Structure 1
Amino acid sequence: MNSVNQSVGILAAGLYVPPTRLSNDDVEEIVTNYDAAVSGRSLDAWTQDRYGITSRAISDELPSEMMAKAIRRAAVQAGISLDEIDFLIVNTAFGDYSQPTTATEVQKRLGLKEGVFALEINMPCSGAIYTSVLASSLLQTGGYRYGVVAGAEKMHRLVDMQDFRTAALFGDGAGAFVLGPEAPWQIKKHKLWSCGEEGQDHDFALSMLGGRAVYPTSEQTIEKGYHQFRMQGKKVQAFAEQAIGQIIDHVEQSWGISLDSFDAIIPHQASKNIVQKAFSARGISESNVRYTLDKYGNTSAASIYITMADSWSSLEMANRILMCGFGGGLNWGAILLEQRKSSS
């Protein structure tokens, strides 16, 4: 389904970013495999050039705690009480537990009314797109009025903080949307795409192998680092650039909309270099692309929510927004948002 028939959309966006920050210089003191003398520049210079990041947040809080804070802020902005929420959909790759779900933990923290349902998807980097499409579909059935979607990650506990490539890239945080009728930003079109990645185990571009059916937790899996998040940089970059190209093609060819007509483009905050290179390859200006990874890093499941919330006040005069995400699986998704026209 590419078009949304009823006027539902995003009423408000909220974010929560922990107060504790790590600068690039702080990261250089932690990692063990970066030698500024050999590279000829500081890790700060390398990270800003490679990723476009100057700092990132780290948290002692659980993903469910961070999500609950982001949801409360989004609800206040939407002008609704928590008692008015009809359902909750969260996305996270690495929640509080494997079971119980992080979704029900968030529900418990918020004290949502009896009858509210909470579900969870594992679709981190493009999850804000998938949760928003699911929520809008549910709202169109007529059985619900307000839905909340949220994402969070506690990345610094999952990546190898001794490795400068991952320690410098990721950050912690959470974000949320409230969806409902008469929203300022209406979901007009969407596209979801996924394809099982070829290969297995160590061939995957993004993975955390341990603790599940293939590799149940054991001394051996811990020794091999299977409990840590792994990233193959070249594969990730190749797919991200391909995915952005596919999104651009779909928007321009299937939707018939020029990318230059968007007042704002809010992508998953993977790496500034990746986004810039993909747009440049198509000869498209990225002047309307919104970034937050410079101050928050790549927050994975939270990044699109955070960037939308961070940009919210500056979007009042905008007419059209493209939100898009891409990540492990492999998958990508895109949503066309349009400003609701006044009925007067």
Structure 2
Amino acid sequence: MTLHSKIVGTGSYLPPNRVTNHDLAAQLAAKGIETSDEWIVSRSGIAARHYAAEGVQSSDLAVEAAKKALEMAQLSANDIDLVILATSTPDFFGGFPSTACVVQRKLGIDNGCPALDVQAVCSGFVYALTTADKFIKSGAHKNVLVIGAEVFSRIIDFSDRTTCVLFGDGAGAAVLTASEEPGILATKLHADGSYGDILCGPGRISNGVLEGSAFMYMDGQAVFKLAVGLLDKVANEALELAGMQSSEVDWIVPHQANIRIMQGTAKKLGLGMDKMIVTVDQHGNTSAASIPLALDVGVRDGRIKPGQNVMMEGVGGGFTWGAVLVRM
């Protein structure tokens, strides 16, 4: 029997504090920084984002998304035999204990299954899905919980209007299970460390002291140019591996970073925006959480149906990029 990995449940969670562009503009104006709803929408397509409350960590958002995915999959927490969590904002400095281990504990998974974090920034969920797919196809694991969770509001420099308006907090999750039916059809991952300085968290800790900035840095123009050039290429690579054409794709679920990047990708693939799940307007760029958030929205509102082909793709700091082609 040929083993496949199939998505059987999705879930997502946004913290209750929804901040519109008007809200954010007012907050920034109090600090002497000018922006507006029109300026933000015209450059990114973002109308609102959500911020986690003080004390709420990535693991807390991840748990809420995971519970919904488990419920849809009709599985209990202890049915999970591997947890993979993608995040750039782990609960603990240094990343340990891993946020995946924290989520495992908070979900009450006490079967001793492995749990690990994946760090590929905005490509994190695609990297994590690919990892889960390989584990399932190897026969080593049967039910894998894959999560993307971020509290990017903690690492935003709110004095930099070019980046602070773009990011938000949230989590999305998917449950993959071993199946005789095809699920994940193809995956393709890439990285190029020579572009590491255009999107990064440049701060370092030395002897307990922060060296450099604790805030994220992004060269927006450089990232935009690189992303537009890479996303359609990696999508086509995944299609080639699956022996399919772009016309066979029912839905594109891209990393929700910027509507102009998303529009450019759809155009290059020869697909209309009516085939793209767009949620960036409502939650901004939630990094590793953005693809599973958008996937869950599409599944729950009935647009994404069983048997349809879905292309998920993203780019992130590192520089990383990848695509996963899935039959739902």
TM-score (norm 1): 0.86
Contact residue 33 and residue 163 of structure 1 kept, 8 A: no
Deviation of 1:262 after TM superposition, in Å, equals 1.1
Correspondence 1:257 to 2:244:
yes
Deviation of 1:143 after TM superposition, in Å, equals 3.2
Closer/same/farther in 2, CA of residues 183 and 328 from structure 1, 3 Å limit: farther
1:137, 1:270 → 2: CA distance? 27
The aligned runs of 1:222-261 (5 Å cut-off) are: 224=212, 226-251=213-238, 253=240, 255-261=242-248
The equivalent of 2:38 in structure 1 is 45
Which secondary structure state, in structure 1, belongs to the residue aligned with residue 106 of structure 2? Answer: helix
Correspondence 1:77 to 2:52:
no
1:148, 1:329 → 2: CA distance? 24
Identity of aligned residues (%): 30
Q: 271, 285, 297: which one pairs with 1:310?
A: 297
Which secondary structure state, in structure 2, belongs to the residue aligned with residue 126 of structure 1? Answer: helix
2:257, 2:242 → 1: CA distance? 25
Contact residue 10 and residue 185 of structure 1 kept, 8 A: no
The aligned runs of 1:131-280 (5 Å cut-off) are: 131-182=128-179, 186-198=183-195, 204-212=197-205, 218=209, 221=211, 224=212, 226-251=213-238, 253=240, 255-280=242-267
The equivalent of 1:333 in structure 2 is 322
Contact residue 7 and residue 176 of structure 2 kept, 8 A: yes
Contact residue 78 and residue 109 of structure 2 kept, 8 A: yes
Amino acid at match of 1:45: E
Deviation of 1:10 after TM superposition, in Å, equals 0.8
1:142-171: CA deviations, max 9, x gaps? 232211011111111111122222221111
Correspondence 1:118 to 2:107:
no
**Corresponding residue pairs, total:** 319
Provide the aligned C-alpha RMSD in A: 2.1
Q: 43, 59, 62: which one pairs with 2:57?
A: 62
Per mean C-alpha deviation after superposition, the further-off stretch among 299-308 and 92-101 is: 92-101
Moved over 3 A (4+): 32-36, 182-185, 251-256, 278-284
Closer/same/farther in 2, CA of residues 100 and 190 from structure 1, 3 Å limit: same
The equivalent of 1:35 in structure 2 is 34
1:308, 1:156 → 2: CA distance? 22
Deviation of 1:190 after TM superposition, in Å, equals 1.0
Contact residue 266 and residue 308 of structure 1 kept, 8 A: yes
Per mean C-alpha deviation after superposition, the further-off stretch among 310-319 and 268-277 is: 310-319
1:22-48: CA deviations, max 9, x gaps? 010111122246436xxxxxx101111
TM-score (norm 2): 0.90
The equivalent of 1:40 in structure 2 is none
Name which one, 1 or 2, has greater alpha-carbon Rg. Answer: 1
Closer/same/farther in 2, CA of residues 154 and 103 from structure 1, 3 Å limit: same
Deviation of 1:252 after TM superposition, in Å, equals 5.3
Instruction: List runs of 5+ in structure 2 lacking aligned partners.
Output: none
Amino acid at match of 2:285: N
Contact residue 235 and residue 313 of structure 2 kept, 8 A: no
